[in-house]
Amino acid sequence: MNLTISGHHLELTPAIREYVQSKLARIKRHFDNVIDVSVILSVDKLTEKEKRQKAEINVHIKGKDLHAESIAHDLYAAIDALIDKLDRPGHQAQGQVAGTSLHGQAPA
């Protein structure tokens, strides 16, 4: 499995990389033929004091592509929500058509 973790507007620390890798172990149990995984972590500055943390994942599995994203006020919470989306039993069936995506929003 080829894994790419990238960050936009933030510095990826070894702790964040390890956290993402440990969480990805959960999706490996559902998908046998994972070819490529791309994780993009980003921070968007909404106002001077408010920032939005976003985690996106693209998983290329033999025969299908999955995409999910999650937005939260904490990067670790966004990563957790992202992996939870992929870990749902229904996501396997939904992702069978290329281009299927699940989008999350931060609670208001």
> Structural domain of residue 52, as residue ranges?
2-103
Rounded to 5°, the CA angle 42-108-43 comes to 10
CATH number of the domain at 48, please. 3.30.160.100
d(CA 17, CA 108): 28
Classify residue 84: in a domain, yes or no: yes
Q: What is the pLDDT of residues 3-44, one digit of tens each?
A: 999 999 899 999 999 999 999 988 777 777 888 999 999 998
Q: What is the CB neighbour count within 10 angstroms for residue 25?
A: 9
Classify residue 12: in a domain, yes or no: yes
**Is 78's pLDDT higher than 90?**
yes
Q: What is the mean pLDDT of residues 72-96?
A: 78
Classify residue 108: in a domain, yes or no: no
Pairing of β 2-8 and β 64-72: unpaired
DSSP string, 79-99: HHHHHHHHHSHHHHHHTTSTT
Classify residue 68: in a domain, yes or no: yes
| Number of domains within the chain | 1
